[in-house]
């Protein structure tokens, strides 16, 4: 079976929350693993392998799809999706780029990838900035797909009104709103590794399993509550970025935000002055 929708990213914009909601919707089917990364990392496996991941969908499923938050960042992935799934519906959720960048850094710490300061990490890991340049990446998709096939959501709506956010997704996917889903439940709040080494090894093990094609196994293990509790512990007080760093980042993203306003015909002036935000 072919997917009817894709969530294309970026990371740290509520994709895990959305994945869990869609998994529990009776008219929607998503595979056992979030972030399959077929169109960017594993395209050599072929579309038959990819389509087989959706074989568990019921014949009357209203929406069938997957969530891979790096697709937005890949021009190659965009062109492959346009070629193989020209009619697919695309979902993206955008978050204040300064907030997203800091949340990305905290996730890197959680995964055992780094323990250096945020300011040092900004220089060492280019993806922290690159993944927040939404206009640059979204422009590619807007050139390849009709505008009505792309639903642009905003993380602020998810934080303020998760049920309303889900209703927008369901309307776009043409599946009904379900009243009793856990819309208010938080997923993956910011946390830190109990052991940097163990967290790093767990991440490496998951990547090895992905490359071996064991997608369902990775999905089950990754989300198991016991695994999460064993590897991570929540912050007593969530870290905050230095205000001077936030100001510097705001200026770095200014041109991209202005371009994004033009691309989407929306007012994002609040992104040009806001400095803090919660993680989800």
CA distance 154 to 93: 5
Per-residue pLDDT at 275: 45
Tokens of 112: 């055992």
CA distance 206 to 156: 31
User: For the chain, which residues make up each domain, given as ranges?
Assistant: 5-272
> Is residue 123 classed exposed, middle or buried when 0-12, 13-18 and 19+ CB atoms within 10 A define those classes?
exposed
CA distance 41 to 211: 9
Fold of 5-272: Rossmann fold (3.40.50)
CA distance 169 to 158: 11
Per-residue pLDDT at 279: 43
Which ranges of the chain have pLDDT less than 70?
188-190, 192-229, 232-233, 235, 274-280
- Please tell me whether residue 75 adopts helix, strand or coil conformation: helix
Per-residue pLDDT at 33: 86
Per-residue pLDDT at 280: 43
């Amino acid at each position: 079976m072919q997917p009817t929708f894709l969530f294309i990213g970026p990371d740290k914009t509520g994709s895990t929350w959305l994945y869990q909601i869609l998994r529990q919707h009776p008219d929607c089917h998503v595979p056992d693993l979030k972030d399959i990364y077929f169109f960017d990392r594993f395209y050599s496996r072929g579309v038959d392998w990819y389509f087989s991941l959706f074989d568990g969908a019921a014949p009357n499923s209203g929406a069938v799809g997957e969530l891979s938050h790096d697709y937005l960042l890949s021009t190659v992935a965009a062109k492959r999706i346009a070629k193989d799934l020209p009619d697919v519906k695309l979902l993206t959720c955008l978050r204040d780029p300064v907030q997203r960048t800091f949340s990305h850094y905290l996730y890197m710490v959680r995964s055992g990838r780094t323990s250096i300061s945020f300011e040092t990490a900004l220089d060492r890991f280019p993806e922290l900035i690159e993944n927040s340049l939404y206009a640059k990446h979204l422009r590619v998709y807007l050139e390849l797909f009709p505008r009505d096939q792309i639903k642009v959501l905003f993380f602020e709506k998810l934080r303020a009104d998760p049920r309303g956010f889900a209703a927008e997704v369901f309307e776009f996917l043409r599946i009904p709103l379900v009243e009793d889903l856990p819309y208010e439940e938080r997923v993956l709040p910011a946390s830190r590794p109990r052991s940097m080494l163990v967290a790093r090894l767990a991440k490496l093990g998951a990547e090895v399993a992905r490359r071996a094609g064991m997608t369902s196994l990775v999905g089950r293990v990754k989300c198991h509550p016991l695994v999460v509790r064993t590897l991570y512990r929540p912050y007593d007080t969530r870290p905050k970025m230095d205000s001077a760093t936030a100001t510097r980042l705001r200026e770095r993203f200014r041109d991209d935000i202005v371009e994004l306003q033009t691309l989407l015909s929306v007012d994002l002036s609040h992104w040009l002055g806001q400095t803090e935000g919660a993680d989800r």
